[in-house]
Amino acid sequence: MRPAILNPLFAEVTDLKGVGPRLGKLFQKLCGSHVVDVLWHLPVDIIDRRFRPKVAEAPEGRIATLTVTVEQHQKPHNPRQPYRVRCRDATGVLFLVFFHVKGDWLERQLPIGATRIVSGKVERFNNQTQMTHPDHILDPAGLDAMRLIEPVYRLTAGLTLRIVQKAIEAALARAPQLIEWCDAELVRRRAWPTWREAIAAAHAPTRPEDLPPAHPARERLAYDELLANQLTITLLRARARKRAGRAISAAGELCARVERALPFTLTGAQRRALGEIAADMAQPSRMNRLLQGDVGSGKTVVALLAMCNVVEAGGQAALMAPTEILARQHYATLTLLAKESGIEIALLTGREKGRARTEFLEHLAAGAVQIAVGTHALFQDDVAFKDLALAVIDEQHRFGVEQRLQLAAKGKAVDILVMTATPIPRTLEMTAYGDLDSSRLDEKPAGRAKTTTSAVPVERIDEVIAAIRRALDKRAKIYWICPLIEDSADSDLQAAEARFSELFQTFGNRVGLVHGRMKGPERDRTMAEFANGGVDLLVATTVIEVGVDVTDATIMVIEHAERFGLAQLHQLRGRIGRGDQPSACLLLYATPLSETARQRLSILRETDDGFRIAEEDLRLRGAGEVLGTRQSGFEQFRLADLAAHADLIPVAREEARLALARDAELESPRGAALRTLLYLFERDAAVRYLRAG
């Protein structure tokens, strides 16, 4: 149960003075429906009222605080006219302007002859200096009560700044003193305030320097949130590990035999990943591992060798690909690499029908098929394994967590290996993927030639076409990638078709076209022509993004490169430079380039390291966008900024690990404080994993 001390924070916002049901709805829209949500709504700016000029010197458009004497009330003759109050100081006249005035409150607030301090935005109108609806009107004696510097908050229609400020003040008044949950040494070293002080300070910035994420109060709050996140993940992970799995016991003979027959030696990274995977599989608990590596880093081989262990132990393995092209390619690769081993590998996609399908199903159910390669077709109800022990899922983003579980349900305690060619930035990896361990292939196989990347404005397309002609004369194979148009596969297609017919006029039937709307066989035929000769210039939409392997393609033109994301450009580029020939990638862009587009293109020219590109992508886009926060189960942080607070994540991770190592059920006094933290950040579910939860 949530500790009672937190109850005031988990009351409805409407509990706060001045917030009724109508405002309550608006607050819910703005930040959430509980008092604590209001607290997490941190200021984005400040209003500085310290500027106190004379009336004649007050510049138009600036916030100023003026001391004036009230001279005259000019009441409106009809309700559409403003109510004006003439005031002055020694240097000039200031009109205070009000609309829709009801009753006599202005006469009470601004009696003739009185001195008043008014604060608001200075305006000039018809050569007169005025202030419309001043933010503050005070008796000079009350000046101390006015905040000369006010926090500014993000608002929503219907909520004024004043209302939000008042609600936050009321919420702050309820914020309790909480027992410190952070490591004392860390708090001392970073000179962090307590939680109570931090939340108060974060809402009381006095200088622009108090607003950025690096301010100690903000940093402390971000750390609290990250620590709650890391505790949750660590608990989840521990629980997942306890779930029964099965120990795959293989001596590794089959694996060694297949490895010996490979036409290359494994990279150090491949060997390391394989070791991590084999160790997981040997454990009696379930494997949930992510294998990350750039296109061409050799994930497929690692998967194959892992599957060999399962086969040797008498079980079955499945390899799932997101598209048919990829499934076929995996099937071809695996068959080739495992040729000498005698392993039975079979393929099932939507295109295997009738007899082929029935046969596949029979062999799978009988255990004759040892490795099943396929697409979503493997999920179908009538697909039954004899004994599925390992599921390898390629390209994480195309399959949801649901489907991962669906496939796992086709066996008993199935080990899961997810492969992705979109490296996930460390920070995201640590804050998401709670249930996955991770292996990284951060080393390219030897013997790969370099890819040079250059950015060319589209105005110079003629030069590009001339260069393509020269390359085609030398028998190069070239990809031409057509622009991505958001949410519109149709216009994608039109653009690709238009480009195709233009290039076709120039180069004739050496040009081919593939796109996502094509029927499987037709697309495969064109791809095969590109791989084997006939088609040398392949115009494509992003269907070729994932996995397609034509090792002797050496040139790629990406049209409207500015419209692609950084990670996607990197993925596309990974289609070339796969063989021993030097390759070239031309990023054609439309001018003018936005600043981030310019940065994206320049990062791509600079580096070919997918892990570094992933980090830069995060920096340029913000965490939410990187993988589409919602559908991929990534969580959003309210206080932590994953780019700005990245350095805090490993610290929080380590602290969570240590705290749980010392006190697995969070039962000590420190443990109790950490439980409070979990509740504060609404990780009630995590607390339930604890014995005394």
Please state the φ and ψ torsions of residue 17, each to the nearest 5 degrees: -60, 135
Q: Cα–Cα–Cα angle for 154, 157, 162, nearest 5°? A: 60
**From residue 261 to residue 300, what is the string marking binding to Mg ion with x (rule CB under 5 A)?**
---------------------------------------x
Contacts of 284 (CB under 8 A, 6+ apart): 244, 245, 246, 247
Nearer residue to Mg ion within complex by CB, 15 or 524: 524
Contacts of 29 (CB under 8 A, 6+ apart): 156
Residue 527 CB, shortest distance to Mg ion, in Å, is 16
Nearer residue to ligand ADP within complex by CB, 296 or 512: 296
Nearer residue to ligand ADP within complex by CB, 333 or 406: 333
Nearer residue to ligand ADP within complex by CB, 230 or 542: 542
Pick out residues in 589-608 that bind ligand ADP (CB under 6 A): none
Quote the CA–CA distance of 514 and 531 in Å, as a whole number. 13
Count of residues binding ligand ADP (CB under 6 A)? 15
Q: Cα–Cα–Cα angle for 594, 154, 145, nearest 5°? A: 135
Residue 420 CB, shortest distance to Mg ion, in Å, is 10
Nearer residue to ligand ADP within complex by CB, 547 or 671: 547
Contacts of 470 (CB under 8 A, 6+ apart): none
Instruction: Indicate the helix (H) or strand (E) that contains 235.
Output: helix 216-242
β-strand pairing of 45-48 with 63-74: unpaired
Cα 226 to the chain's mean position, in Å?
A: 15
Residue 608 CB, shortest distance to ligand ADP, in Å, is 14
Residue 270 contact among Mg ion, ligand ADP, none, beta carbon within 5 to 8 Å by kind: ligand ADP
Pick out residues in 522-581 that bind ligand ADP (CB under 6 A): none
Quote the CA–CA distance of 581 and 471 in Å, as a whole number. 13
Nearer residue to Mg ion within complex by CB, 300 or 431: 300
- Strand (E) positions, 268-414? 288-293, 316-320, 345-348, 371-374, 388-394
Which of 457, 17, 439, 430 lies closest to 269 in space, CA to CA? Answer: 439
Residue 120 contact among ligand ADP, Mg ion, none, beta carbon within 5 to 8 Å by kind: none
Q: Cα–Cα–Cα angle for 60, 66, 67, nearest 5°? A: 150
Nearer residue to ligand ADP within complex by CB, 173 or 332: 332
Which of 385, 412, 414, 371 lies closest to 255 in space, CA to CA? Answer: 371
Query: Is the CB of residue 435 less than 8 Å from the CB of residue 280?
Result: no
Residue 660 CB, shortest distance to ligand ADP, in Å, is 34
By CB under 6 A, which span of 220-228, 289-297, 378-386, 654-662 interacts with ligand ADP? 289-297
Nearer residue to ligand ADP within complex by CB, 306 or 421: 421
Structure tokens belonging to residue 327: 């499934």
Residue 293 contact among ligand ADP, Mg ion, none, beta carbon within 5 to 8 Å by kind: ligand ADP
Query: Is the CB of residue 324 less than 8 Å from the CB of residue 375?
Result: yes
Residue 372 contact among ligand ADP, Mg ion, none, beta carbon within 5 to 8 Å by kind: none
- The strands making up 136-138's β-sheet, listed across from edge to edge, are 123-125, 128-132, 92-98, 83-89, 63-74, 115-121, 136-138
Query: Is the CB of residue 375 less than 8 Å from the CB of residue 349?
Result: yes
Q: Of 237, 299, 670, 683, which lies in the binding site for ligand ADP, with binding defined by CB under 6 A?
A: 299
Residue 496 contact among ligand ADP, Mg ion, none, beta carbon within 5 to 8 Å by kind: none
Quote the CA–CA distance of 478 and 539 in Å, as a whole number. 9
Nearer residue to ligand ADP within complex by CB, 296 or 425: 296
Quote the CA–CA distance of 420 and 427 in Å, as a whole number. 17
In the 8-state DSSP scheme, what is residue 593?
A: P
Pick out residues in 401-440 that bind ligand ADP (CB under 6 A): 421
Q: Is 266 in the site for ligand ADP (CB under 6 A)?
A: yes
Residue 396 CB, shortest distance to ligand ADP, in Å, is 13
Count of residues binding Mg ion (CB under 5 A)? 1
Residue 229 contact among Mg ion, ligand ADP, none, beta carbon within 5 to 8 Å by kind: none
Residue 338 CB, shortest distance to ligand ADP, in Å, is 12
Pick out residues in 63-102 that bind ligand ADP (CB under 6 A): none
Q: Of 117, 301, 390, 572, which lies in the binding site for ligand ADP, with binding defined by CB under 6 A?
A: 301
Residue 264 contact among ligand ADP, Mg ion, none, beta carbon within 5 to 8 Å by kind: ligand ADP
Quote the CA–CA distance of 88 and 56 in Å, as a whole number. 10
In the 8-state DSSP scheme, what is residue 241?
A: H
Residue 461 CB, shortest distance to ligand ADP, in Å, is 31
Residue 267 CB, shortest distance to ligand ADP, in Å, is 5
Quote the CA–CA distance of 9 and 15 in Å, as a whole number. 10
**From residue 298 to residue 327, what is the string marking binding to Mg ion with x (rule CB under 5 A)?**
--x---------------------------
Q: Of 43, 293, 322, 425, which lies in the binding site for ligand ADP, with binding defined by CB under 6 A?
A: 293
Residue 267 contact among Mg ion, ligand ADP, none, beta carbon within 5 to 8 Å by kind: ligand ADP
Amino acid at 353: K
Structure tokens belonging to residue 463: 């030069």
Residue 266 contact among ligand ADP, Mg ion, none, beta carbon within 5 to 8 Å by kind: ligand ADP
Q: Is 689 exposed, middle or buried (0-12, 13-18, 19+ CB in 10 A)?
A: middle
Nearer residue to ligand ADP within complex by CB, 288 or 297: 297
Which of 526, 593, 553 lies closest to 468 in space, CA to CA? Answer: 553
Residue 393 CB, shortest distance to ligand ADP, in Å, is 13
Nearer residue to Mg ion within complex by CB, 65 or 300: 300
Query: Is the CB of residue 463 less than 8 Å from the CB of residue 469?
Result: no
By CB under 6 A, which span of 68-76, 139-147, 222-230, 288-296 interacts with ligand ADP? 288-296
Nearer residue to ligand ADP within complex by CB, 357 or 477: 477
**From residue 440 to residue 459, what is the string marking binding to ligand ADP with x (rule CB under 6 A)?**
-----xx-------------
Nearer residue to ligand ADP within complex by CB, 210 or 394: 394
Q: Give the alpha-carbon dihedral of 395, 399, 403, 405, to 10 degrees.
A: 50
Which of 234, 294, 288 lies closest to 414 in space, CA to CA? Answer: 288
Query: What is the residue whose two structure tokens read 């004392």?
Result: 184
Residues in contact with Mg ion by CB under 5 A are 300
Residues in contact with ligand ADP by CB under 6 A are 264, 266-267, 270, 293, 295-301, 421, 445-446
